[in-house]
Amino acid sequence: MAERPEDLNLPNAVITRIIKEALPDGVNISKEARSAISRAASVFVLYATSCANNFAMKGKRKTLNAGDVLSAMEEMEFQRFVAPLKESLEVYRREQKGKKEARKDKDKKADSEEQDKSREEENDDDDERMDEEEQNDEEEVDN
């Protein structure tokens, strides 16, 4: 996983683009300010993860889920993010579902509402299985 300290950095070009979107046109962002914001973003990820993990632990779950991250935002006093995040998540879920269905339609060309429902359930299972597999991989590496 994170073998070198650079692995915990976020790509500078992307960070710069995101900063520019938030500022009026023509504002100069010093190099030091960029790297400071980039570091702050990495710390934010860790802080959010740790808060979210506390919520997962309280719920006796091993896997962090969307609700944990949203609760973490509230706890960190970033309530203002919650509504836009929920909106994005809706779009993201729809997109992911569309992709998976497109993939399955390639394999099978059958279509009915009932199958749609069963697919949704299958998708959820898939996600969990993926996470478990990853965990196993890591354990192997660690040993």
Partner 1 sequence: MAARLSGGENRLVSLPLSRIRVIMKSSPEVSSINQDALFLTAKATELFVQYLAAYSYKHGKGKEKNALTYSDLSHTAEECETFQFLADILPKKILASKYLKMLEKEKQDGDVGEGDEEDEEEEDEDEAVADVGS
Q: Is 33 in the site for partner 1 (CB under 8 A)?
A: yes
Q: Is 97 in the site for partner 1 (CB under 8 A)?
A: no
Instruction: Give 29 or 105: the residue with its C-beta nearer to partner 1.
Output: 29
Query: What token pair was written down for 8?
Result: 């915990």
Do residues 104 and 118 lie in contact, with contact meaning Cβ atoms separated by under 8 Å? no
Reference 12, options 33, 28, 35; nearest CA is: 35
Q: What angle do CA 113, 107, 111 make, to 5 degrees?
A: 15
Instruction: Give 50 or 115: the residue with its C-beta nearer to partner 1.
Output: 50
Instruction: Give 66 or 111: the residue with its C-beta nearer to partner 1.
Output: 66
Q: What is the DSSP letter of 8?
A: G
How far is it, in rounded angstroms, from Cα 93 to Cα 52? 20
Q: How far is the CB of 3 from partner 1 (least distance, A)?
A: 10
Q: Which of 43, 59, 125, 137 binds partner 1 (CB under 8 A)?
A: 43
Query: What token pair was written down for 77?
Result: 């006093």
Do residues 17 and 38 lie in contact, with contact meaning Cβ atoms separated by under 8 Å? no
The residues that touch partner 1, with contacts defined as CB under 8 A, are 1-2, 7-8, 10-11, 14-15, 17-19, 21-23, 26-30, 32-33, 36-37, 39-50, 52-53, 57, 62-66, 68-70, 73, 76-78, 80-81, 84-85, 88-89, 91-93, 95-96, 99, 127-128, 130-132, 134-135
